[in-house]
Amino acid sequence: MNLHTYLVAVIAVACMSALPSAAQISAGCTGYAQSLTLSGDYPDGQAIRAQIGYGVGVAVAYRLLDDVEVTFEPSLDLRHGRSTETISTSASPSYDSTVATIRVRSMSIPLGVRIWSQAHTWVFTSGIAARIASSGMRTDGDGTEWSFTDALSQLEVGVYLGVGYRITIGNVRVLPELRYEQGISNVLRGAPVVGLPPAPILRTNGFSLRVACQYELGGGQ
Amino acid sequence: MTMLRGALVVCLMWCTAASARALPSNASDASQGAVVGPVLGGHLFQPLVGHPMAFVMSSTRLTLGGGITSNLQLPIVRIGERIVLAPEGSLAFIATGAEHEQRIKDWLSVYVGVDVVGRLGTDVKALLSQGVNAVTSFDLGWKVRAYQSERMLLTMSLDLVNGSVTTVDVDRWVRGIVDSGGVTSTNPLVDTKPTITAGVSAHCAYAVSPAIGLMATVSGVYGESAVRGGDSKIFFNAGGNINVDMRPLVGIPVATTVGIVYRQNPSVDDASTRSDAMVASMRIGTTVSQHFALGVQVNAQNGEIGNGTHVLAIGGAVDMRFYY
């Protein structure tokens, strides 16, 4: 089953679950730009710096209590980074030289809660961010490409917290949100990877700026 | 990088704080507005560094401290059959930290924190034998209120600590050079390993009277070994403290807090072992306001620092808390 099939299946399940209790459901889409780095084991003097990645998917929220919602936001996700090496010379200050660029594509499946403020404008979000890896690619400075898809963990788990603000336009709500994510599990499964030490451990962490646009089925509050 | 990430998350939390302040208060919030700090049963609880607060509230912590050991019997440095050093020495360490906790609801708060501890050999022999270790940690936590009465508060928290341990192990590095005949990438002088731990804690605060308060914490932590190849293990921590506020007794806004905590930590030297530590602390602080706490703390720690070496360390810290 490829990623697109996963996504269609998730959307279908989300839509079906919305039908019985429409007044408590909001459904729509989400898009985000993220600056997630991979921190962990590097060779001496090297690091992986975050570059801008992005994602797009669906956003479903179920109102559990007046001020608490359960959210489910499956999306297609790209993390983008560059592997750098610190160069020191006597003639100039040390600087970072790009050794390679790294791209990791995955299916992101955040499951969390939204806790609304008294006025239902500001919102605190938190939850678990799971990712199913799809592909990993390293491109060296000379253009050589290395796939490390086989070295990626099948399932990656992290946690997130964020703060957002609600803009209401009729039955549609727009939710800009700033979110911090911290990976718990290793992105890699322990197999050798080009440019990394033996049995490396890397975890995702960083920020994303996202916007969810949701229609409140049955009318909003 | 950890400090930068921590600062950014603290900014994020400040945004939440600002938004919370911008909201119209309901009757419940208004009634709670009179009590800002960690007050229960008329007693203003004092914080103790190393002891989590049981309260669900908005607060910011800033801590700066350090310490020293003396007459430390360090392990023998042996290269081949030759004993190079059998030293005695002293180790000094510095510690600094910052944390912000944001109350989202009266039953829920989240917190983020950054702590840095550096261990320094104060003489060449100590450096050669023990190296220089630095431990940085970035903490994320969620705290929920489980039970509250007029005098007692029970809360639970879920903590996630993303840390890294940096060692400069001259002894191991030299041995590696001798064994391999040169410097190799698999035997670095400076070695940094990331570790992550997740744990659940239960906290209790009990106000005996307006002058006396008790706090206790028990936690179970599942964490990675700082040594690659080691299995993750479960570690337990427990601690408690008693706090006496002089203001209700004699009108002087000074409080004394005495506490003890037992910690199990993953060893940085051996994946199959852990290093336990017992820390006794005493803090003298001011109770002049519910909006902030300022205190000076002295710690005595008896613990293992690796290679079976136990050490008694004496340290101190200046700690500030701001309550919102």
State how far the alpha carbon of A218 is from the alpha carbons of A97, A103, A172, in Å: 55, 41, 11
Mark yes or no for CB contact A122/B108 under 8 Å: no
Residues of A with CB under 8 A from a CB of B: 39-41, 43-44, 47, 67, 115, 117-119, 121-122, 124, 126, 159, 161-163, 165, 178, 180, 182, 184, 197-199, 201, 203, 205-207
Q: How far apart are CA B88 and CA B128, in angstroms?
A: 11
- Non-local (6+) Cβ contacts of A9 within 8 A are none
A162 contact residues in B (CB cutoff 8 A): 12
Distance from CA of A41 to the nearest CA of B (A): 7
Distance of CA B202 to the CA centre of its chain: 16
* pLDDT tier at B81, thresholds 50, 70, 90: low
pLDDT digits (tens, 9 = 90+) for A15-58: 555 555 555 899 999 999 999 888 777 766 677 888 899 999 99
Residue in chain A lying closest to B229 (CA)? A199
Per-residue pLDDT of B270-312, as tens digits, reads: 656 677 889 999 999 999 989 999 999 999 988 776 666 677 8
Alpha carbons B124 and B127: distance in angstroms, whole number? 5
Take residue A189 and report the two structure tokens written for it: 């499964």
Q: What is the ipTM score, two decimals?
A: 0.71
| Facing residue for B26 by CB, picked from A41, A118, A201 | A118
Tokens standing for B63?
């801590």
Q: Is A137 exposed, middle or buried (0-12, 13-18, 19+ CB in 10 A)?
A: middle
**Chain A: residue whose CA lies nearest to B21:** A117
Taking an 8 Å cut-off on Cβ atoms, the answer to whether A178 and B228 are in contact is no
Closest alpha carbon within chain A to B194:
A40
Beta carbons of A41 and B193 less than 8 Å apart: yes
| Closest residue on chain A to B111 (Cα) | A161
Residues in chain B: 324
Both tokens of A217, joined, read 């089925």
pLDDT score for A208: 95
Name the phi and psi angles at B246, rounded to 5. Answer: -80, -15
- pTM value is 0.77
Read off the pLDDT of residues B159-203 as tens digits, 9 standing for 90 and up.
Answer: 998 887 776 666 666 667 767 666 665 666 666 777 888 899 999
Give the Cα separation of B83 and A95 in Å (integer): 41
**How close A87 gets to chain B, by Cα (Å)?**
17
